[in-house]
């Protein structure tokens, strides 16, 4: 198990690390520990996944994938990476509705933080969850289901790891589909909404250095007409691109309109290659979609602070959902993502400036990335915040799954 997160900015403080190979072992471990935390692939950028106690990776549990074509679901082990799951689903003619920018992350870790891709009609990855199996504080195995457990279930999916150790998840599947990916250059800002409406999944990249948005990555169904030459006033990229200027396009999924399976087009980055730049910090804020253009404009006065510490900014659309702690709870969202340079001292003041500018739009931070919002701002951004606090105290009365970061944002009453 690694001693730091993927980015290297967090050294795990756990006094013991474990890699159990059976469910019983996980149950015994949780029951016998006073402080315990599950870890996925460690791709988060903050201390949410850390603990001073026992850190548990579930990567040693059996990798059984059980497809249920009648229900349209698949049951997967918590630690499985999306890339590995996607290949197995595709072989059998199935797919997931969406994926994040990278296939390297674990299903449970991504779901716990409300990880998302892009697509104005598509929810984040947690919205595909139809069932959960978790080991709760006393070592019991709890199974919850979307149909049977309704509202409480909606509170348990984006869990921040605070409710227990998730051992398996059941996800909705759809028939496999093919996509084509096109990269277009120089989008006028006023065309942002039209761009999001034009394809299944759309990512817009900008650098805060010019009036136009630098690149648009369109991921559209393979049988849809390709964008015309003058699409929204942009030009076609003359070759494959990497979102971070100057980095090798080889790390990225195929572009230039080549058709290919969903899991080889929806992520920007390929399994087996370094995603993003590999030397970075990340922050991200979700604002209401209708206020997206205004939120982007509100960052202009601090563009001179952002640009020098920015590798790239990505704008994505995410559909609203009902999951209590989802960044997209109750609102169609524009996600403003920042890939920063790997220098916390230079980046943190800029993160604070971004948060101040976005404050009027009630920004919801990505739970797994760098943010510094005041606890009161976080509490007031989620209408079901108090219900989640209540759920945590019911399922984990002794605070076994707590971390410093959870104590800051979800203090015990
Ligand atoms: C290069 C890069 C690109 C990224 N791109 C995107 C993107 O496109 N969209 C996006 O939204 N995010 C993105 N992220 C962020 C990433 O998706 C999240 O940080 C996600 O949580 C990482 O999953 P993980 O398996 O590494 O989780 P970890 O960082 O290992 O853990 C995250 C949280 O989940 C909890 N957890 C993990 N496993 C379990 C379990 N079995 N039971 C209970 N709790 C558990 C942990 O305790 C922790 O609190 C990116 C990150 C990187 C490094």
pLDDT at 413: 73
Q: What pLDDT band is residue 1 in, cutting at 50, 70 and 90?
A: low
Q: Which atom of ligand 1 is nearest to the CA of 44?
A: 19
pLDDT at 102: 96
Closest to 269 in 3D by CA, of 181, 369, 158: 181
Long-range contacts of 256-261 (CB under 8 A, 24+ apart): 256/181, 256/182, 256/183, 257/180, 257/181, 257/182, 257/226, 258/180, 258/181, 259/178, 259/179, 259/180, 259/222, 260/178, 260/179, 260/180, 260/181, 261/90, 261/95, 261/176, 261/177, 261/178, 261/179
Residue 370 Cβ contacting ligand 1 at under 6 Å: no
Closest to 266 in 3D by CA, of 274, 255, 276, 256: 255
Residue 78 Cβ contacting ligand 1 at under 6 Å: yes
Per-residue pLDDT of 62-108, as tens digits, reads 999 999 999 999 999 999 999 999 999 999 999 999 999 999 999 99
Residue 276 Cβ contacting ligand 1 at under 6 Å: yes
Closest to 241 in 3D by CA, of 250, 233, 232: 250
- 131/168 Cα distance (integer angstroms): 8
pLDDT at 79: 98
pLDDT at 299 over 70: yes
Residue 44 Cβ contacting ligand 1 at under 6 Å: yes
62: exposed, middle or buried (Cβ count in 10 Å: 0-12, 13-18, 19+): exposed
Residues 114/207, Cβ–Cβ less than 8 Å? no
115: exposed, middle or buried (Cβ count in 10 Å: 0-12, 13-18, 19+): buried
pLDDT at 314: 98
pLDDT at 2: 61
Most informative mutation of 77, 103, 112 for ligand 1 (most atoms within 8 A of CB): 112
User: Residues 6 or more apart from 394 whose CB is under 8 A from it?
Assistant: none
Residue 116 Cβ contacting ligand 1 at under 6 Å: yes
From ligand 1's centre to the CA of 47, what distance in Å? 11
From ligand 1's centre to the CA of 224, what distance in Å? 32
From ligand 1's centre to the CA of 115, what distance in Å? 7
Q: Which atom of ligand 1 is nearest to the CA of 107?
A: 25
Q: Which atom of ligand 1 is nearest to the CA of 335?
A: 11
From ligand 1's centre to the CA of 10, what distance in Å? 13
Mean pLDDT for 348-371 is 98
Torsion angle, CA of 85/90/91/94, rounded to 10 degrees? Answer: 100
User: Residues 6 or more apart from 353 whose CB is under 8 A from it?
Assistant: 302, 305, 306
Residue 243 Cβ contacting ligand 1 at under 6 Å: no
Residue 251 Cβ contacting ligand 1 at under 6 Å: no
Q: Where do we find the tokens 């590999």?
A: 278
Per-residue pLDDT of 3-53, as tens digits, reads 899 999 999 999 999 999 999 999 999 999 999 999 999 999 999 999 999
Per-residue pLDDT of 213-268, as tens digits, reads 999 999 999 999 999 999 999 999 999 999 999 999 999 999 999 999 999 999 99
Mean pLDDT for 102-128 is 97
Q: Which token pair is 57? A: 């990776």
- 155/53 Cα distance (integer angstroms): 25
- 348/372 Cα distance (integer angstroms): 8
350: exposed, middle or buried (Cβ count in 10 Å: 0-12, 13-18, 19+): buried
Mean pLDDT for 367-392 is 98
Neighbours of 53 (CB within 10 A): 19
- Please state, rounded to an integer, the average pLDDT across all residues of the chain: 97
Mean pLDDT for 148-159 is 97
Mapping DSSP onto H, E and C, the string for the chain reads CCCECCCCCCECCCCEEECCCCHHHHHHHHHCCCCEEEECCCCCCCHHHCCCCEEEECCCCCCCCEEECCCCEEEEECCCEHHHHHHHHHHCCEECCCCCCCCCCEHHHHHHCCCCCCECCCCCHHHHEEEEEEECCCCCEEEEEHHHHHHHHHHHCCCCCCCCEEEEEEEECEECCEEEEEEEEEECHHHHHHHHCCCCEEEEEECCCCCCEEEEEEEEECCCCCCCCCHHHCEECCCCCCCCCCCCHHHECCCCCCCEEHHHCCCCECCCCCCCCCCCEEEEEEEEHHHHHHHHHHCHHHHHHHHHHEEEEEEEEECCECCCCCCCECCCEEEEEEEECCCHHHHHHHHHHHHHHHHHHCCEECCCCCCCCCHHHHHHHCCCHHHHHHHHHHHCCCCCCCCHHHHHHCCCC
């Amino acid at each position: 198990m690694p001693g730091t997160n993927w980015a290297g900015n967090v050294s795990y403080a756990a006094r013991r690390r474990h890699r159990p190979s059976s469910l019983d072992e996980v149950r015994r471990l949780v029951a016998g520990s006073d402080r315990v935390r599950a870890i996925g692939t460690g791709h988060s950028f903050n201390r949410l996944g850390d603990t001073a106690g026992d850190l548990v990776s579930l990567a040693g549990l059996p990798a059984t994938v059980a497809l249920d074509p009648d229900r349209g679901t698949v049951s997967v082990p918590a630690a499985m990476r999306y890339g590995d799951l996607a290949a197995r689903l595709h072989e059998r003619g199935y797919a997931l509705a969406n994926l994040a920018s990278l296939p390297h992350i674990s299903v449970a870790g991504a779901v716990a933080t409300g990880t998302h891709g892009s697509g104005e009609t598509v929810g984040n990855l947690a919205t595909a969850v139809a069932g959960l199996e978790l080991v709760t504080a006393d070592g019991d195995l709890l199974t919850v289901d979307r149909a049977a457990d309704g509202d409480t279930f909606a509170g348990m999916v984006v869990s921040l790891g605070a409710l227990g150790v998730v051992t398996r998840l059941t996800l909705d599947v759809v028939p496999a589909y093919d996509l084509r990916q096109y990269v277009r250059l120089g989008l006028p800002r006023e065309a942002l909404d039209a761009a999001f409406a034009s394809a299944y999944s759309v990512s817009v990249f900008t650098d805060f250095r010019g009036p136009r948005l630098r690149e648009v990555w369109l991921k559209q169904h393979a049988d849809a007409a390709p964008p015309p030459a003058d699409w929204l006033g942009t030009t076609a990229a003359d070759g494959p691109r990497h979102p971070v200027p100057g980095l090798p396009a080889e790390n990225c999924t195929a572009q230039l309109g080549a058709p290919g399976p969903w899991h080889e087009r929806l992520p920007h980055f390929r399994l087996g290659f370094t995603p993003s730049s590999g030397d970075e910090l990340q922050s991200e804020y979700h604002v209401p979609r209708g206020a997206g253009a205004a939120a982007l404009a509100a960052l202009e006065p601090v563009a001179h602070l952002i640009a020098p510490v920015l590798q790239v900014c990505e704008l994505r659309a995410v559909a609203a959902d009902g999951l209590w702690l989802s960044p997209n709870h109750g609102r169609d969202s524009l996600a403003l993502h920042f890939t920063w340079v790997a220098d916390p001292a230079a980046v943190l003041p800029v993160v604070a400036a971004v948060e101040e500018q976005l404050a009027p739009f009630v920004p919801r931070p990505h739970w797994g990335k760098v943010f510094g919002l005041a606890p009161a701002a976080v509490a007031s951004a989620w209408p079901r915040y108090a219900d989640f606090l209540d759920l945590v105290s019911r399922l984990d009365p002794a605070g076994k799954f707590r971390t410093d970061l959870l104590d800051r944002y979800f203090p015990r009453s």
